[in-house]
Amino acid sequence: MQITTIVRRTALIFLSMVFSMGIVFAQQRTITGKVTAEGEGPVPGVTVVVQGTTVGTITDMSGTYSIRVQGPSSVLVFSFVGYQTREITVGTQSTIDVVLIPDVVAVSEVVVTGYSSQRKRDITGAVGVVETTALKAIPSGNVVSQLQGRTSGITVIGSGQPGQTSRLRIRGFSSFENNDPLYIVDGIPSSTISMINPNDVESISVLKDAGAASIYGSRASNGVIVITTKKGATGVKVTYDMYTGTQLAGGGPTKDLLNTKEYANLQWLVYRNDGTNETHPIYGPSSNASPTLPGWAADTDWYKTITRNASMSNHDVTLSGGNENAKFFAGVGAFIQNGIIKTTDTKKYTARFNSEFKVLEGRLTIGENVSMTYGSSHGVTNLAEGSPIQMGPYRSQPIVPAIITKPIKGTGHDFVPGEYGGTGIIARLGNNTNALANLERAKDNNNYNLSVMGSAFADVKIMDGLNVRSSLGGRFFNGAYYSFNNSTYENAENNATPSMTEGANYGGHWTWSNTVSYNKTFGDHKVSAVGGYESNKINIYRELGGTRAGYFSDAVDYRTLSNGQTITAAFSSASTPVTLVSQFAKADYSFRDKYLFSATIRRDGSSVFSEDKRYGIFPSFSAGWRIKDESFLKDLSWLSDLKLRGSWGTLGNQLAVNPANAFSLFGGSPDQSFYDISGTGSSSAQGFRKNRIGNPDAQWETNVTTDLGFEATLFNSKIGIVFDWYSKQTKDLLFNPELPGTAGSASQPYVNIASMSNKGLDIELTYKNTFGDLGFNASAVLTTVNNEITKVADGVNFFDWGGSRIGSYNRNQVGHPMSAFFGYQVAGLFKDAAEVASAAKQDGAEPGFFRYADINNDKVIDPKDRTFIGNPNPDFTYGLNLALTYKNFDISTFIYGSQGNDIFNNNKWWVDFWPSFQGQKSQDLLYRSWTPSNTGASVPKASNKSNFSTNTVSSSYYLEDGSFVRMKNLQIGYTMPASSLSKVYLKSVRVYVQAVNLFTITKYSGLDPEIGGGDRAFGVDAGNYPNVKQFIIGLNLTL
């Protein structure tokens, strides 16, 4: 963006000089003055013309001008790129000083794209632009989660865990292995932006189609997100932004689950249903009319026990300044968030220094940007067995005290007050661990990550319009961690020996890129081109670590690796780096600003492929037609602008491929191939196995993307529409088909065999108007993706993914979208024995259990009757942003929604079936399940039978509509009047209050419908860290 501004400034200066030569020396007087810009100081190069004449001049280096005018009615017009044009009637004044106000619209219309920036009106590809002010509306330390719903074509899903990185997908999926977009941060490609401070971001562009993204060639098939960070500007500016607030844990799922008395009653219901007689170790003989509770019985609300209301706060200080030849920006930030699950938190401290210098009479620009990030988190597993939400509320019986208050003689441990309670108190309490104990014990674990990312560049202006630029940059990171695994006493299944794991890692990547750019206008013809050469080394990583067991003491200060008695593991792992060498070129041509053409080509060479298959070529073509400028539309006054555009091109992906893919390799590890050949009992001899089968023929995954769209503005630009239809066809999709078992179990190679299709619409609408003091601004984005797998492998048309206690739920199959849910269709519950007898033969069938649909009508329910029972992919997602300003007040809200996606509620497996472990159960199971007197129920009979007809297979019973609408943000701000600030030397002060996630409308019965997961198996709720309500106050200050 900076470059373009410079180019355009140069052009304007040049134009102005031409103007000034034509000045007719008429009479009257001379007006002088100084032009400054708000917050910036004097502005050189501003065009000053007398309206209706050809008389004009430009301001000099100190912003002053001098111009002759005819009389008092003359009007001076001050114009400068990026600022609102001002018109001032001369009157009797002889000195006119002007303050220019930045034109926000104009600034945002320059868009940073691959290796260049362009006026938005000239772009022929599909590029989404995110306003950085919109980003900041969501209080988060992570830019990715802030992007949710902000531009069409992207889908972002994330949990409420502090420091988590949300899953961001651009236009669906184009790979089975890796669908992460490529991030470009100040020109440096990166696979993550978690280390970026959101406050440092100046602009974000999302390159969605081949027309926009193919200049990034082999790494662009998942889309590209281009981020630039803030730079200094003329003048001095100091800002301080902060917010602080609280996150409310809420009541969780407790209301749907049982209390202690109810749980015992449920056991009695099971006895009745199953006809079991026994003496229950806790509740007494089943022959009693009702259970009795022991004296130690608690009534624990496990959700409340493991959660808290948690604070979060953020502080950012930035300093920027400079003059024509030197600019700098410095910022420091601190983001600290405690999680609503106890002991979870994240801390992120960032520092950035960006600077830029012009030397050699402005022909050489050199600059750098560097950021340092220190992060440290206490996290928990999520969407998996063992996550606190699953282990606590969904698995812990309420009878178990979280903390012992009176002595209990347990089966193997005598509990005393103050100790943790647990499933070890007596039989039948289940095998879960005490979720609170897990969290509290983990609080002394620690980790940090330190990341340094930056680049330096030199840009030489060889002649007007021709620049050469070289930049070298990258990222280095280093981290260390240790965690202690306590011995436990309170559980049914205890960990006898404490152990400790400690490790450290480092890694990074670098990029050297060199470009030549050329911009020139010849009459009606405008040409801009960029070409370059780039080399990358990525995936540099090494880790070392070890585990020792047998610690004399659990004392926190005693925890070093050396203090452990037995070495259980000592390892180092080194990743194989990947190198890339690329050449690329892009040319844009426009004729009369009306007919726009663009062509891009990139050739990439990658070390992950063998020599014959190493290079890939990725071209794209796009065109635009500003049809509004045609004579036949000139007269349509309501139509402010209309541009049609289309693009076609190919993009590549190599992220799926292990760098060792081409090689057949042998190796060994103690856990897989070592053997105690000498019978020592305590040592094993090294053994090897074939651990990788190579495929030297693997090639790039290729995406062929077509995009058709239009951009229109209506009614004096009050309404804006951006519409895109796209089709993204991935061919040669890299897949590592599972080999038959007879081929051995070495890692299977990736082969270019699968294919996938994504089609959809991206729609953005904006409306902007002012009514007196009232300003109104609304925008809506809509994203649809229709994803379909079109081929998996020869002879194989599906693969299952994801695991659970009863196998995988997600099947990726030809003709279906990624990650679709697969299992038996529940047709209802067997009402009675007669229905069982008349139904298709089904293992375990009995009244009150599931009756599955006989899909193939062969009178037997078997695996052939499994079918697709749901789809976690939404029909569409949308974001709606509304903002009102009235005098000094502003109010804004952001609503995000997802429609038409299903959730596989795996928590039901734990709580709706008695034999799914002896953990917590649901109100549904006790009060709304099938009984001989309630045969119309939808919840199966409470029974201790675990079989095909109850809880051992995936079925549609677990599926729920996961659609939701959520108010992500409601913010009310007040900006102090400038008059009151000048006395305290402040430029601007704004205070605001904010509510986040104020309400959610959904039919989903679980904690939170925002369920992520890996691309091949997502949408399964296995205990999700919820997104919760947050209340925030904040301050924005400019000095």
Partner 1 sequence: MKKNKILFTIVLAVFAILVGCNKDFLEIKPKGSLDEGVLATEKGVNTLLIGAYSLLDGVSSQFGWEAASSNWVYGDIRGMVGNKGTDAGDQPDINPLQSYSETSTNPYLNVKWRSVYEAVSRCNSVITVAAKALAAGTITKEQHDSFVKQARALRGWYHFEAWRMWAKIPYVDEKTDLSKVANTEDVKAKIIADLQEGTSLPNNMGQVGRFNGTVANVLLAKAKMQMNKDWAGALANLNAAKTGTKPNGTPIGLAPTYGEVFDIVNRNGIESVYTVQYSVNDGSGAWNGGWGEVLNFPYKGGGGSPGGCCGFFQATQEYVNSFRTTADGLPMLDNSYNNFPVKSDVGLTPSQPFTPDAGNLDPRLDWSVGRRGIPYWDWGKHTGSDWIRDQSYAGPYSPKKQVYQKKQEGQYTEVGNWTSGWTANGYRMIRYADILLLAAECQIETNDLAGALANINAVRNRAANPDGFVMDGAAPAAKYVIAPYKPFTDQNQARLAVRMERKLELGMEGHRWFDLNRWGITQTELNRVLAYEKTVPWGNSMYGSATVGPEDATYPIPQRQIDLSNGKLVQNR
Restricting to residues 345-404, name those near partner 1 by CB under 8 A.
none
Strand ranges (DSSP E) for 430-465?
Answer: 446-463
Residue the block writes with tokens 């610690």: 551
Applying CB under 8 A, among 533, 589, 597, 776 the residue interacting with partner 1 is: 533
Q: Find the part of the chain contacting partner 1 (CB under 8 A) among 80-88, 449-457, 522-530, 689-697.
A: 689-697
Applying CB under 8 A, among 122, 241, 356, 490 the residue interacting with partner 1 is: 490
Applying CB under 8 A, among 607, 647, 736, 955 the residue interacting with partner 1 is: 607
Token digits for 296? 């130690």
1005 binds partner 1 (CB under 8 A): no
Binders of partner 1 in range 857-886 (CB under 8 A): 862-863
486 binds partner 1 (CB under 8 A): no
Choice between 514 and 766, CB closer to partner 1: 514
Applying CB under 8 A, among 741, 771, 857, 933 the residue interacting with partner 1 is: 741
The number of residues that bind partner 1 (CB under 8 A) is 129
Token digits for 186? 């100040």
Q: Find the part of the chain contacting partner 1 (CB under 8 A) among 149-157, 543-551, 1003-1011, 1017-1025.
A: 543-551
Contacts of 417 (CB under 8 A, 6+ apart): 404, 405, 406, 407
Q: At 254, give phi and psi (nearest 5°).
A: -55, -40
Q: Find the part of the chain contacting partner 1 (CB under 8 A) among 161-169, 680-688, 763-771, 1028-1036.
A: 680-688
C-alpha 337/C-alpha 313 separation (Å) is 6
Q: Tell me how far, at minimum, the Cβ of 573 lies from partner 1, in Å.
A: 7
Q: Find the part of the chain contacting partner 1 (CB under 8 A) among 170-178, 518-526, 673-681, 850-858.
A: 673-681
| Cβ-based burial of 983 (10 A; exposed 0-12, middle 13-18, buried ≥19) | exposed
Binders of partner 1 in range 913-932 (CB under 8 A): 913-918
Binders of partner 1 in range 248-277 (CB under 8 A): 274, 276-277
Contacts with partner 1, 936-975, as mask; x by CB under 8 A: -------xxxxxx--xx-----------------------
Q: Find the part of the chain contacting partner 1 (CB under 8 A) among 63-71, 438-446, 738-746, 997-1005.
A: 738-746
563 binds partner 1 (CB under 8 A): no
Contacts with partner 1, 310-349, as mask; x by CB under 8 A: ----------------------------------------
988 binds partner 1 (CB under 8 A): no
Choice between 382 and 916, CB closer to partner 1: 916
Concatenating the DSSP letter of every residue in 71-126 gives STT-EEEEE-TTB--EEEE-TT-SB--EEE-B-HHHHHTEEEETTEEEEGGG--S-
689 binds partner 1 (CB under 8 A): yes
696 binds partner 1 (CB under 8 A): no
Cα 253–Cα 254–Cα 256 angle in degrees, nearest 5:
75
Nearest to 138 by CA among 335, 332, 374: 335
Strand ranges (DSSP E) for 339-390?
Answer: 345-359, 364-378
Contacts with partner 1, 494-523, as mask; x by CB under 8 A: xxxxxx--------------x-x-------
Q: Tell me how far, at minimum, the Cβ of 704 lies from partner 1, in Å.
A: 26
Q: Tell me how far, at minimum, the Cβ of 275 lies from partner 1, in Å.
A: 8
Q: Find the part of the chain contacting partner 1 (CB under 8 A) among 201-209, 490-498, 725-733, 752-760.
A: 490-498
Contacts with partner 1, 577-596, as mask; x by CB under 8 A: xxx-x-x-------------
Q: Tell me how far, at minimum, the Cβ of 397 lies from partner 1, in Å.
A: 13
C-alpha 248/C-alpha 310 separation (Å) is 7
Applying CB under 8 A, among 121, 413, 759, 831 the residue interacting with partner 1 is: 413
Q: Tell me how far, at minimum, the Cβ of 186 lies from partner 1, in Å.
A: 21
Q: Where are the alpha helices (DSSP H) in 893-939?
A: 907-911, 923-927
Q: Tell me how far, at minimum, the Cβ of 759 lies from partner 1, in Å.
A: 29
Choice between 536 and 901, CB closer to partner 1: 536
User: Cα dihedral angle (401, 404, 406, 410), rounded to 10 degrees?
Assistant: 80
C-alpha 599/C-alpha 366 separation (Å) is 29
Token digits for 38? 């708000």
Residue the block writes with tokens 């932004």: 241
* 849 and 941 Cβ atoms separated by less than 8 Å: yes
Q: What residues pair up with 596 in beta bridges, in sequence order?
A: 590, 624
848 binds partner 1 (CB under 8 A): no
Q: What 3-state class would DSSP assign to 923?
A: helix
Evaluated on CA atoms 114, 116, 117, 118, the torsion sign reads: negative
C-alpha 924/C-alpha 945 separation (Å) is 18
458 binds partner 1 (CB under 8 A): no
Token digits for 162? 């502090």
C-alpha 206/C-alpha 211 separation (Å) is 12
Choice between 944 and 975, CB closer to partner 1: 944
C-alpha 489/C-alpha 424 separation (Å) is 7
Q: Find the part of the chain contacting partner 1 (CB under 8 A) among 395-403, 646-654, 744-752, 1002-1010.
A: 744-752
* 906 and 959 Cβ atoms separated by less than 8 Å: no
93 binds partner 1 (CB under 8 A): no
C-alpha 472/C-alpha 456 separation (Å) is 6
678 binds partner 1 (CB under 8 A): yes
438 binds partner 1 (CB under 8 A): no
Per-position b or e across 98-124, b if 16+ CB within 10 A of its CB? bebebbeeeeebbbbbbbbbbebebbb
783 binds partner 1 (CB under 8 A): no
Residue the block writes with tokens 């009389």: 71
- Give the chain's length: 1039
Applying CB under 8 A, among 15, 462, 555, 633 the residue interacting with partner 1 is: 462
Q: What 3-state class would DSSP assign to 493?
A: coil
Choice between 251 and 687, CB closer to partner 1: 687
Q: Tell me how far, at minimum, the Cβ of 141 lies from partner 1, in Å.
A: 33
Contacts of 5 (CB under 8 A, 6+ apart): 81, 82, 110
Contacts with partner 1, 794-823, as mask; x by CB under 8 A: xxx--------xxx----------------
17 binds partner 1 (CB under 8 A): no
631 binds partner 1 (CB under 8 A): no
One-letter amino acid of 782: L
851 binds partner 1 (CB under 8 A): no
Q: Tell me how far, at minimum, the Cβ of 954 lies from partner 1, in Å.
A: 11
Q: Tell me how far, at minimum, the Cβ of 925 lies from partner 1, in Å.
A: 13
* 322 and 297 Cβ atoms separated by less than 8 Å: no
Q: First and final CA of the chain: distance in angstroms?
A: 25
Applying CB under 8 A, among 614, 718, 768, 990 the residue interacting with partner 1 is: 614
Choice between 324 and 676, CB closer to partner 1: 676
- Eight-state DSSP code of residue 740: P
Choice between 101 and 360, CB closer to partner 1: 360
Binders of partner 1 in range 648-667 (CB under 8 A): 659-660, 663-667
C-alpha 926/C-alpha 945 separation (Å) is 16
C-alpha 295/C-alpha 301 separation (Å) is 18
Contacts of 629 (CB under 8 A, 6+ apart): 592, 593, 594
